[in-house]
Amino acid sequence: MIKFYKVVEGGFAPRFASKSANGTLPTNGFRYCEPLRAATGFGWLVYLPMEFWLVWDGSEVRWTIDDGANWYPLAGAIQYPGASARFDSAAPPQMEGYSPPFILRGVDHNVLQIWTGCLVRTDPGYASLIRAPVNQYWRTDYMVMEGIIETDRWFGPLFTNIVLRKPDTPIVFRTTQPFLQVQPMPLAHLAATADTGSAELVEGFDALTEADWDAYDRTVVHRVNNRKRLGEYAVGARRRGGAGHAARAVDEPDA
């Protein structure tokens, strides 16, 4: 379905997302809330190949890759150390000089484009939703801007834009913390949601049909009156092999 090309050395390879958010989910949420687990474990986590720091003063950006010993202004774009030479030695002659930038300054003073050091491709008919890691740490110093790329035909660097939010404070990007989560999605779903007539609105309780009330009775009323233990929905979903339960192992057992 998806293929990652890790062309810059360092850091972790992309890995299937953990339903425990790498052990950071609250215990009860992980054990009993299947919607939370399924969303957290949907897709692949992508890491950065090297640690770096940024400082934004409200206008200009400076960067360092040596724990703050030396700072440099980010005037336009920079490359991963040695990446440009390695690209040129491997690429066909007509492509020399086209190595993707590591960090690229955007038009807006607080927007940067950051490359993960990976390329990505999906099977025909699939796009990639690129977003911040789901249900993991919430950063207050920057925000990942989500995007959907038609990676079945657009083969290129896996990057994203971030918005810097905290001026005059070092923003640290570590190789041990996932930077992005990539979630393949059928292009047919995008086409369906683009159709404004694909969603139907029902207004008011009086508009619910007998079938709607029967479904609500099964989902809510019966469950409340007959609950024997926490996590019954989770147990049922796991038995059905529902969302997030394809026959692919992850790094923690089901509760």
pLDDT at 238: 60
Q: Are residues 158 and 228 in the same domain?
A: no
Considering the chain, what is the average pLDDT of its residues? 89
Q: Are residues 187 and 222 in the same domain?
A: no
pLDDT at 243: 54
Instruction: Judge whether 124 lies within some domain.
Output: yes
Q: Which residue has the higher pLDDT, 169 or 246?
A: 169
pLDDT at 167: 96
Instruction: Judge whether 217 lies within some domain.
Output: yes
Which CATH number fits the domain that encloses residue 160?
2.70.40.10
Instruction: Judge whether 98 lies within some domain.
Output: yes
Instruction: Judge whether 218 lies within some domain.
Output: yes
Express each pLDDT in 19-45 by its tens digit: 998 888 888 888 888 889 999 999 999
Q: Are residues 127 and 236 in the same domain?
A: no
Q: Are residues 204 and 151 in the same domain?
A: no
Residues contacting 2, CB < 8 A, separation 6+: 44, 120, 121, 122, 123, 126, 128, 151, 182, 184
High-pLDDT (> 70) share of the chain, %: 88
Q: Are residues 39 and 161 in the same domain?
A: yes
pLDDT at 115: 98
Express each pLDDT in 148-163 by its tens digit: 999 999 999 999 999 9
Q: Are residues 130 and 175 in the same domain?
A: yes
Instruction: Judge whether 32 lies within some domain.
Output: yes
pLDDT at 251: 39
Sheet bearing 15-16, strands edge to edge = 15-16, 44-46, 180-186, 126-131, 147-149
Q: Are residues 58 and 157 in the same domain?
A: yes
The whole-number average pLDDT for the span 181-207 is: 88
pLDDT at 248: 41
Q: Are residues 171 and 229 in the same domain?
A: no
Distance CA 58, CA 109 (A): 8
pTM score, whole prediction:
0.83
pLDDT at 65: 96
Q: Domain range holding 150?
A: 2-194
Residue 232 has pLDDT above 80, yes or no: no
Query: Which of 56-70, 113-127, 213-227, 239-253 shows the lowest per-residue confidence on average (mean pLDDT)?
Result: 239-253
Q: Are residues 122 and 208 in the same domain?
A: no
pLDDT at 166: 95
Total domains in the fold of the chain: 2
Express each pLDDT in 90-128 by its tens digit: 999 999 999 999 999 988 989 999 999 999 999 999 999
Distance CA 127, CA 149 (A): 6
Q: Are residues 226 and 154 in the same domain?
A: no
Q: Which of 178, 194, 210 is the last residue of a domain?
A: 194
Instruction: Judge whether 90 lies within some domain.
Output: yes
Q: Are residues 10 and 36 in the same domain?
A: yes
Instruction: Judge whether 179 lies within some domain.
Output: yes
Q: Are residues 220 and 124 in the same domain?
A: no
